[in-house]
Amino acid sequence: MPLLVSDFCWSQTDSTVHISVPLKGARADMVDVLCTEEYLKVHFPPYLFEAFLYEPVLDHRSSAKLGNGVALFNLPKKTERVWEDLMKTSLDKEQKQEVRRRALQKHQEKVSSEDKQKAERRQAERKFTLQTTMKLEQEERENIQKMKEVERQKTSEELEAWQQRLKDRREERRVTGGVTPGSCNTKVQKNAAELPPPRSRGNIQVSFTPRVFPTALRESRVAEEEEWLQKQAEARRALGADVEQLQDLTEAERNPDWLKEKGDKRFTAGDYHGAVNAYNLAIRLNSKIPALYSNRAACHLKLGNLHKVVEDASQALQLLTPPVAANAAARVRASVRRGSAFCQLQLYAEGLQDFQTALKIDPDNEALQRDVQKIRDIMQGSAHTHTHTHTH
């Protein structure tokens, strides 16, 4: 049985009640306070003070100050008038128990609401941080692109100036008319030395993969499928400008497919940093292959680089267009990886959207069905589990 505090003091005005409760040597962090419009409790074991207030107060405007061995409460009255007493004396045991129950329920609802608001603020802050980070990275990429454009423009202007000088010289020779026999060979050699070396020429044989889609022709999306095949063929022919800058690489190391296979093996062995390095080099050589970005996103997911997962998976999904049967499995993997990153960032709404997109592509996938339900449970506050992450 707690010891009831009886040596408290109280006073009032027409609008406010003031209560002073001695803490009897208890520290402020040991005091539990519960205040509603009809009930006030101050508990510091083994002592207990509780007041079944004479009339309702405005609990949302009430204040408490703990310190110097005393707890001071200022409780604004709901109705401005003088009370006959601080507490109701007519309540029986059952009525008091009901008041306590209502007070505890209201307190729990208030705490739950505050926790929900804090969670929403944290999620909004994380979302803002993610958006800001992605914006800064986009601005950095744009600045690099602008620098490249400036260099290209400078090179083009120098080339045009060189061509104009050659044109002026030819025009000058035409106007002056011919040259002496003795100077002919010298001038020809001089002009030839000024010309840039001819570019090498060659023929590339391209063979397209036969069209084998499981969908019946009358139901298929022929135009989209052909566009996808064309994009794949162009991606295989594309080589980045970095190839000329990587002269120290072996012939195999200049092959994006060889590098992808190497990255896949490193990932399977658990060497995620090594896999990232392989995918990085492959992307420098060919930035049009979506599997490189999707697989690098899987590595970053293992390493906890969640913002990079979102960026790489988004790039992979952008390249996996138009959506056709041939790239459906790849779109599922990229969507799940980005969705998993969003969920670990506690951006559950964005994560749920990605998992639902994957489930729409593969509606019979039981693992995806469970993941979608888990995310919904987390958003509803009825589960606290991590979403399943698909294998590489």
Residues 320-330: tens digit of each pLDDT: 988 988 899 99
Going by DSSP bridges, is the β-strand pair 47-52/39-44 parallel, antiparallel, or unpaired?
A: antiparallel
**Distance between CA atoms of 345 and 327, rounded to whole angstroms?**
27
Determine the Cα–Cα distance for residues 352 and 103; give it in Å rounded to an integer.
Answer: 37
| Beta-bridge partners for 49 | 42
What is the arithmetic mean of pLDDT over 304-316? Answer: 94
Instruction: Give the strands of the sheet with 9-12, arranged side by side.
Output: 9-12, 16-22, 70-76, 63-67
For 67, phi then psi, to 5°, come to 165, 160
Q: How far apart are CA 231 and CA 319, in angstroms?
A: 9
Per-residue pLDDT tens digits for 365-376 = 999 999 999 999
User: How does residue 157 score in pLDDT terms, banded at 50, 70 and 90?
Assistant: confident
CATH hierarchy code of domain 235-379: 1.25.40.10
Confidence band (pLDDT; 50, 70, 90) for 120?
A: confident
CA pair distance 96, 40, nearest whole angstrom: 12
How confident is the model over 256-303, as pLDDT tens digits? 889 999 999 999 999 999 999 999 998 988 888 999 999 999 999 999
Peptide bond into 323 cis (omega under 30): no
Task: For residue 353, count other CB atoms closer than 10 A to its CB.
Answer: 15
Rounded to whole angstroms, the Cα distance separating 157 from 151 reads: 10
Q: What is the pTM of this model?
A: 0.46
Domain ranges of the chain: 3-81, 90-141, 235-379
The pLDDT value given to residue 28: 84
Q: What are the distances in angstroms from CA 23 to CA 10, 17, 94, 165?
A: 15, 19, 28, 96
At 247, is the pLDDT very low, low, confident or very high (cuts 50, 70, 90)?
low
Distance CA 192, CA 18 (A): 103
Q: Which residues, 6+ apart, have CB-to-CB distance to 65 below 8 Å?
A: 71, 72
Taking the C-alpha atoms of residue 385 and residue 374, their distance in angstroms, rounded to an integer, is: 7
Give the mean pLDDT of 124-149: 86
Cβ neighbours around 36 below 10 Å, total? 21
Please tell me the predicted confidence (pLDDT) of residue 146: 87
Fold of 3-81: Immunoglobulin-like (2.60.40)
Amino acid at site 361:
I
Tokens of 197: 């070396």
DSSP 8-state symbol, 277: H
Please determine whether the domains at 3-81 and 235-379 fall in the same fold group of CATH.
Answer: no
Nearest to 77 by CA among 57, 61, 62: 57
Pair of tokens at residue 329:
């499995």
Cross-strand bridge partners of residue 19: 10, 73
> How would residue 199 be classed by pLDDT, with cut points 50, 70 and 90?
low
